[in-house]
Structure 1
Amino acid sequence: MLIRLFRALSVTLCHHPWPGANEASPRLLCTAAQQKSGQGSEEDQHAEQSAAEKGLAEEKGQLEDQLKEVTDKYKRALADTENLRTRSQKMVEDSKLYGIQRLCKDLLEVADILEKATESVPSEEVSSQKNPHLKNLYDGLVMTDKQMQKVFAKHGLVKLNPDGGQKFDPYEHEALFHAPVEGKEPGTVAVVTKVGYKLHGRTLRPALVGVAKAP
């Protein structure tokens, strides 16, 4: 406000000097006033420029913070979407692989019956000369059992029949009893009472076994 008043007074003195005054004095005063006014204008411009730069810097900082926040949200949303896609894909694949496990469990009972039927026939009775009808029936059961095992293997279902002396595995075996067995190390499978099955590497039915223990 004072600067503006000083400018107005200087302009008035430059154009209308007072009577009797030295002509050089108003001119000098006018020149000084103009220089002072120019300095004040430069200071104002510098102050306005500094204020504008400060405002732009603050606005830039706010925009950078907003950009960072939006970028983080986008990355999290992208990661969540990818995880959801991966889980969905795995569920679809598992459904294709293990969707038949209920049917397989039902067919295992049929496979057990065929296996018991072939095992129950004494080998000395299976002779075409002695009993040809029994021989034909036995051969038919054996062929049926082999064909069923081929169908099982085609769909990823394999028999789980641990050999004697194999280490007991709770993920594949179910212990029916523990007993000391001569010639068997403790903690190993001593006898298999019922074979198990795996479906694509996953235990569908554990093998029922007896486990040897220390005497």
Structure 2
Amino acid sequence: MALISVRNFLKCGHSLADSIIFNSRSIVVSSNRNNTVAPSEKKPDTDAGKSEINPEIESLNKQIIELASQKDELLDKYKRALADGENLRNRLTKQISEAKIYGIQSFCKDLLDVADVLNKATETVPKEELNKNSHLKSLYEGLTMTEAQLMSVFKRHGLEQVNPIDEKFNPNFHEALFTQDVKDKESGTVVIVSKIGYKLHERVVRPALVGVAK
């Protein structure tokens, strides 16, 4: 059995805390050290880090929710603004179109008095005197041609006469002055036109003044 001194044993890096077992053939060193990690080698405590991160995540989530809400609100306002702009554009387009069509309405209305005078003048000329008086005949023909030319101009610009004789009374285009009993006429039928009406592109400029059967 080989002997080894304690001094030499310590020189080999062993401490007294190690167990030394002697037998006839060898010396066995058994370490009694615990398999624990040194304090400096311990894993960091993550609980404290988690407690610090959680408030930050909650704050970020809150900001994300607020930004999403703001985004939805701005998107809704944007869509509403687009819709309002489109509605405004449509209204302006319609107004411009109507202004082009009905811009001459007041001018046409003023000319209706001229048409009424011409019509009255041609109606009052006695037809039996035309062949007897050449001057009267020429005047009548001139008035008739002027009236026809004026009606042609009216029609070219969309102004048309409303002469509803024997038609059903329509309050949108006619104005009833009186009613009377008329045989063989259905109730509500226009039997007399006291004054011819006019419409400009389906818009009434002047309603026809009529008498209606009871």
Q: Which bin holds the TM-score, normalised by the shorter protein? A: 0.7 to 0.9
Deviations 1:2-58 (A, max 9, x none): xxxxxxxxxxxxxxxxxx9x9725x62637981xx44x22x3444555444433322
> Which AA in structure 2 matches 1:155?
H
Query: 1:81 aligned to 65, 82, 85, which one?
Result: 85
Structure 2 gaps, min length 5: 1-16, 18-30
Query: In the alignment, is residue 24 of structure 1 matched against residue 24 of structure 2?
Result: no
Q: How far did residue 177 of structure 1 move?
A: 0.3
Query: 2:59 aligned to 55, 58, 62, which one?
Result: 55
Query: In the alignment, is residue 142 of structure 1 matched against residue 150 of structure 2?
Result: no
Query: In the alignment, is residue 104 of structure 1 matched against residue 108 of structure 2?
Result: yes
Distance 1:84 1:126 in 2: 61
Distance 1:150 1:23 in 2: 128
Q: How far did residue 171 of structure 1 move?
A: 0.9
> Which AA in structure 1 matches 2:194?
T
Count of matched residue positions in the alignment of Structure 1 and Structure 2:
187
CA RMSD of aligned residues (A): 2.6
Within a 5 Å distance, the mapping from 1:145-160 to structure 2 comes to 145-160=147-162
Q: How far did residue 116 of structure 1 move?
A: 1.0
Query: 2:117 aligned to 93, 113, 125, which one?
Result: 113
Distance 1:23 1:206 in 2: 123
Q: How far did residue 162 of structure 1 move?
A: 0.7
Q: How far did residue 87 of structure 1 move?
A: 1.7
Distance 2:96 2:143 in 1: 37
Structure 1 gaps, min length 5: 1-19
Task: Tell me the SS of whatever aligns to 2:38.
Answer: helix
Worse-matched range after superposition: 57-66 or 186-195: 57-66
Name the structure 1 match of 2:198.
197
Name the structure 1 match of 2:25.
none
| Structure with the higher helix share, 1 or 2 | 1
Query: 1:67 aligned to 67, 71, 75, which one?
Result: 71
Q: How far did residue 94 of structure 1 move?
A: 2.0
Q: How far did residue 173 of structure 1 move?
A: 0.3
Name the structure 2 match of 1:6.
none
Query: 1:126 aligned to 114, 127, 130, which one?
Result: 130
Distance 1:50 1:82 in 2: 48
Name the structure 2 match of 1:10.
none
Distance 1:177 1:123 in 2: 30
Of the two, which has the highest radius of gyration?
Answer: 2
TM-score after normalising by structure 1: 0.77
> Which AA in structure 2 matches 1:187?
G
> Which AA in structure 2 matches 1:137?
L
